[in-house]
Chain A
């Protein structure tokens, strides 16, 4: 199932980039390349829940508008600070406790924190993030855990230890 899906996505990407649907050689070499890639992924154990998170996709589509809105706010915020006086910032490093353990959810959360106003994720540790915040408001916003509450329901079982965690950490 995941294998087939991976092949279809790769094939769709190939067709999108080439834009040639009627030349037998191009489409054929696309099929060969995609099959080879899927075979390699299979051999490398790169087919699994953390690599093709199809279960999380529907919820992610609901999460996306909120994230885009946060990006708009963040950009307006940063634009104002870029043009305004530099004394308007009091940067600090904040330790943010994080409950979720699933690698995919952690990645999503770290990226979301970077994209939300006034905060950049500096370090991801086992049970907390190190976040650089520009202002006190940004610090409060990241400490209240609203982003985590939005990310957590997206990945099933995100509060549990992931079986692939060892492979993720070593790669």
Chain B
């Protein structure tokens, strides 16, 4: 039962990560593309890591071994790292674009002169 929940979480996380990638492809200009890159991936990675942690617990229980707290700790550490760095890198890219003089597309202009 718990194993299915773990798989479900991982698949759901994968779905969000995929949606984020799809969003990057479909959004009209550079700044809009940052939105799916920054947020959908954060939820996606949290779900995937939650699923992996649950999987670690179920595997330990199935082998009747003590729960592998170290691996879970590492998973949480990676998740926290991504949680902090994703918005920071999104901001860095956005700021670089802004300093480079890229104007955001507002729906009025033609697409090609903003989409670089």
Which residues between 84 and 137 of chain A lie within 8 Å of chain B, taking CB atoms? 86, 89-93, 110-112, 114-115, 117-124, 130, 132, 134
Residue of B nearest to A92 (CB): B106
Residue of B nearest to A112 (CB): B87
Residue A56 CB within 8 A of the other chain: no
- Known A74-B39, A78-B20, A86-B28: A132·B104 in contact at CB below 8 Å: yes
Residue of A nearest to B74 (CB): A16
- Known A111-B88, A132-B104: A120·B31 in contact at CB below 8 Å: yes
Kindly identify which residue among B23, B29, B34, B95 contacts A82, using a CB–CB cutoff of 8 Å. B23
* Interface mask (B56-87 → A, CB under 8 Å = 1, otherwise 0): 00000000000000100110010000001001
The A interface, classified by DSSP as helix, strand, loop or mixed, is helix
Residue of B nearest to A117 (CB): B39
CA–CA, A122 to B92, complex, Å?
8
Residue of B nearest to A113 (CB): B87
Residues of B contacting A111 in the complex (Cβ-Cβ under 8 angstroms): 84, 87-88, 91
Residues of B contacting A78 in the complex (Cβ-Cβ under 8 angstroms): 19-20, 23, 35-36, 39-40
* A79 & B40 in contact (Cβ 8 Å cutoff): yes
* B34 & A132 in contact (Cβ 8 Å cutoff): yes
Kindly identify which residue among B22, B35, B43 contacts A71, using a CB–CB cutoff of 8 Å. B43
Residue of B nearest to A116 (CB): B39
Kindly identify which residue among A16, A71, A122, A123 contacts B39, using a CB–CB cutoff of 8 Å. A71
Residues of B contacting A112 in the complex (Cβ-Cβ under 8 angstroms): 87
Q: How far is the CB of B89 from chain A (nearest CB, A)?
A: 10
CA–CA, A105 to B75, complex, Å?
27
Most buried by B among A115, A117, A134: A115
Residue B49 CB within 8 A of the other chain: no
User: Which B residues lie at the A interface, using CB under 8 A?
Assistant: 16, 19-20, 22-23, 26-29, 31-32, 34-36, 38-40, 42-44, 46, 70, 73-74, 77, 84, 87-88, 90-91, 94-95, 97-98, 104-107
**16 contacting pairs across A/B (C-beta < 8 A):** A75-B42, A75-B43, A78-B36, A81-B27, A83-B19, A91-B28, A91-B104, A111-B88, A114-B91, A117-B39, A120-B38, A120-B91, A123-B94, A123-B98, A124-B95, A130-B98
| Beyond known contacts A16-B73, A91-B107, A121-B87: 15 more, CB 8 A cutoff | A13-B77, A16-B74, A71-B43, A74-B40, A78-B40, A79-B16, A91-B32, A111-B87, A112-B87, A114-B90, A117-B39, A118-B35, A120-B91, A120-B94, A134-B35
User: Which A residues lie at the B interface, using CB under 8 A?
Assistant: 13, 16-17, 19, 68, 71-72, 74-75, 77-79, 81-83, 86, 89-93, 110-112, 114-115, 117-124, 130, 132, 134
